[in-house]
């Protein structure tokens, strides 16, 4: 699983918990419904301002939408993203 897919799973889970349709969430976050769909399918990652809008529209903290996504520094100059399985 990559970070886009993990973010999409987190977003979908929070949207459903809030009992919102994609259209309702998009309206609350001042986004287009297709943007919500693309993010939930892991086809797109949000910009920072979009992340804040989504969290606000879902009445949650941005960290909730980033759950299970981290960064691992390596011994070389490049690091890598780390995705962990969701706790259920």
Question: Domain boundaries in the chain?
Answer: 3-83
- pLDDT band at residue 74 under the 50/70/90 scheme: confident
Report DSSP state, residue 32. -
CB burial class (10 A; 0-12, 13-18, 19+) of residue 19? exposed
Contact 58, 16 (CB under 8 A): no
H-helix or E-strand spanning residue 24: helix 22-28
pLDDT of residue 88 exceeding 70: no
Q: pLDDT tens, 20-64?
A: 999 999 999 999 999 999 999 999 999 999 999 999 999 999 999
Higher pLDDT, 1 or 65: 65
Contact 84, 70 (CB under 8 A): yes
pLDDT at position 73: 83
Domain 3-83 in this protein, CATH class: mainly alpha
Report DSSP state, residue 18. T
pLDDT of residue 86 exceeding 70: no
pLDDT at position 41: 98
């Amino acid at each position: 699983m990559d970070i886009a897919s993990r973010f999409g799973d987190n977003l979908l889970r929070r949207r459903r918990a809030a009992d919102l349709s994609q259209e309702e969430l998009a309206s609350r976050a001042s986004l287009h419904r297709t943007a919500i769909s693309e993010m939930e399918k892991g086809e797109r990652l949000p910009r920072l301002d979009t992340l804040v809008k989504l969290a606000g529209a879902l009445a949650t903290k941005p960290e909730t939408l980033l759950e299970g996504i981290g960064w691992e520094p390596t011994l070389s100059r490049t690091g890598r993203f780390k995705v962990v399985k969701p706790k259920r």
